[in-house]
Chain A
Amino acid sequence: MATVQVENVRKIYTRDTQTIVVLDGISLEVPDGEFVALMGPSGSGKTTLLNLIAGIDRVTSGMIRVGDTTVTGLSDAALAQWRSRHVGFVFQFYNLIPVLTAVENVELPLLLTRLTKRQRRERALTALRIVGLADRAKHYPRQLSGGQEQRVAIARAIVTDPSVLVADEPTGDLDAASAEDILTLLDTLNRDFRKTIVMVTHDPRAAARAHVERHLDKGVLAASVERHVPASRDAHEVPA
Chain B
Amino acid sequence: MKFLPYVLQHLRRSWIRTASTVAGMALCVFLICVLQTVLAAIESSIAGASPSRLVTRHAVSLTFNMPLAYKARIQAIDGVDRVAISNWFMGVYRDMKDFFPNFAVESEDYFAMYPEIRVPPDQMQAYLQDMQGALIGPDIARKHGFRIGDQFQMESVIPPYRVRGPMTFVVRGIYGAAPGREGSVNMTTMYFHYRYLYETIQGAEGVGDYAGAGTFNLQLRDPDLATAVMRAVDTNFENSDVQTKTETEGAFLSGFISLVGNLAGLLGAVGLAVAFTILLVTANTMSMAVRERRTEIAVLKTLGFSGGRVLALVMIEAAALGVLAGALGVLLAQALVGGLADLPFMGLLLGNFPALRVSPPVAGFTFTVAVVLSLGAGFVPALTAYRGRITEMLRHA
Which residues of A come within 8 Å of B, CB atoms? 48, 51, 54, 56-57, 76-77, 80-85, 89, 91, 95, 97-100, 104, 108-109, 111-112, 117, 156
- B103-162 residues with Cβ-Cβ distance < 8 A to A are none
Contact B13 A56 (CB under 8 A): no
Contact B304 A98 (CB under 8 A): no
The minimal Cβ–Cβ distance linking A83 to chain B, given in whole angstroms, is 5
Contact B303 A57 (CB under 8 A): no
Kindly state the separation between the CA atoms of A63 and B345 in the bound complex, as whole angstroms: 76
| B365 interface contact, C-beta 8 A | no
Contact B302 A89 (CB under 8 A): yes
* Residue with the greatest number of chain A CB neighbours at <10 A, chosen from B3, B299, B301, B309: B299
Instruction: Name the residue on B nearest A109 (C-beta).
Output: B303
| Among A54, A98, A112, contact of B302 (Cβ-Cβ < 8 Å) | A54
Binary A-proximity of B281-315 (CB < 8 A = 1, otherwise 0): 00000000000000110111111111111000000
Instruction: Name the residue on B nearest A81 (C-beta).
Output: B304
Instruction: Name the residue on A nearest B3 (C-beta).
Output: A111
Contact B304 A112 (CB under 8 A): yes
Chain B contact residues: helix, strand, loop or mixed:
helix
Contact A80 B306 (CB under 8 A): yes
Kindly state the separation between the CA atoms of A80 and B298 in the bound complex, as whole angstroms: 12
Kindly state the separation between the CA atoms of A85 and B296 in the bound complex, as whole angstroms: 19
Collect the chain A residues with CB atoms within 8 Å of residue B10's CB.
99
Which residues of B come within 8 Å of A, CB atoms? 2-3, 6, 9-10, 12-13, 295-296, 298-309, 389-391, 394
23 intermolecular pairs with C-beta atoms under 8 Å apart:
A48-B391, A54-B302, A56-B302, A56-B390, A57-B391, A76-B306, A76-B307, A77-B306, A77-B308, A80-B305, A80-B307, A84-B303, A85-B304, A91-B299, A95-B295, A95-B296, A95-B298, A95-B299, A100-B9, A104-B6, A108-B300, A112-B303, A117-B2
Contact B2 A111 (CB under 8 A): yes
Kindly state the separation between the CA atoms of A112 and B308 in the bound complex, as whole angstroms: 13
Contact A81 B299 (CB under 8 A): no
| Among B2, B6, B304, B309, contact of A100 (Cβ-Cβ < 8 Å) | B6
Instruction: Name the residue on A nearest B12 (C-beta).
Output: A99
Kindly state the separation between the CA atoms of A82 and B306 in the bound complex, as whole angstroms: 10
Instruction: Name the residue on A nearest B9 (C-beta).
Output: A99
The minimal Cβ–Cβ distance linking B118 to chain A, given in whole angstroms, is 60
Collect the chain B residues with CB atoms within 8 Å of residue A84's CB.
303-305
* Residue with the greatest number of chain B CB neighbours at <10 A, chosen from A77, A80, A104: A80
Kindly state the separation between the CA atoms of A117 and B4 in the bound complex, as whole angstroms: 13
Kindly state the separation between the CA atoms of A99 and B6 in the bound complex, as whole angstroms: 8
Contact B391 A98 (CB under 8 A): no
Collect the chain B residues with CB atoms within 8 Å of residue A95's CB.
295-296, 298-299
Known: A57-B390, A77-B308. 4 other contacts (CB 8 A): A80-B305, A83-B302, A83-B304, A84-B305
Contact B13 A98 (CB under 8 A): yes
Instruction: Name the residue on B nearest A153 (C-beta).
Output: B299
Collect the chain A residues with CB atoms within 8 Å of residue B296's CB.
95, 97
Instruction: Name the residue on B nearest A101 (C-beta).
Output: B9
Collect the chain B residues with CB atoms within 8 Å of residue A111's CB.
2-3, 6
Collect the chain A residues with CB atoms within 8 Å of residue B12's CB.
99
Shortest 7 CB-CB contacts between residues of A and residues of B: A84-B304, A80-B306, A56-B390, A99-B9, A83-B304, A99-B13, A109-B303
Contact A108 B303 (CB under 8 A): yes
The minimal Cβ–Cβ distance linking A149 to chain B, given in whole angstroms, is 13
Contact A80 B299 (CB under 8 A): no
Q: A95-B295, A99-B9 are in contact. Are A156 and B303 (CB under 8 A)?
A: yes
Q: A111-B2, A156-B303 are in contact. Are A51 and B9 (CB under 8 A)?
A: no
Collect the chain A residues with CB atoms within 8 Å of residue B389's CB.
57
Kindly state the separation between the CA atoms of A48 and B394 in the bound complex, as whole angstroms: 12
Collect the chain B residues with CB atoms within 8 Å of residue A98's CB.
13
Collect the chain A residues with CB atoms within 8 Å of residue B303's CB.
83-84, 89, 108-109, 112, 156
Kindly state the separation between the CA atoms of A82 and B9 in the bound complex, as whole angstroms: 27
Collect the chain A residues with CB atoms within 8 Å of residue B304's CB.
80-85, 109, 112
Kindly state the separation between the CA atoms of A85 and B295 in the bound complex, as whole angstroms: 21
Collect the chain A residues with CB atoms within 8 Å of residue B2's CB.
111, 117
The minimal Cβ–Cβ distance linking B228 to chain A, given in whole angstroms, is 71
Kindly state the separation between the CA atoms of A56 and B3 in the bound complex, as whole angstroms: 23
Instruction: Name the residue on B nearest A120 (C-beta).
Output: B2
The minimal Cβ–Cβ distance linking B122 to chain A, given in whole angstroms, is 69
Instruction: Name the residue on B nearest A100 (C-beta).
Output: B9
Instruction: Name the residue on A nearest B303 (C-beta).
Output: A109
Kindly state the separation between the CA atoms of A104 and B296 in the bound complex, as whole angstroms: 14
The minimal Cβ–Cβ distance linking A63 to chain B, given in whole angstroms, is 19
The minimal Cβ–Cβ distance linking B1 to chain A, given in whole angstroms, is 10
Kindly state the separation between the CA atoms of A51 and B395 in the bound complex, as whole angstroms: 12
The minimal Cβ–Cβ distance linking B356 to chain A, given in whole angstroms, is 43
Collect the chain B residues with CB atoms within 8 Å of residue A112's CB.
303-305, 309
Kindly state the separation between the CA atoms of A156 and B2 in the bound complex, as whole angstroms: 18
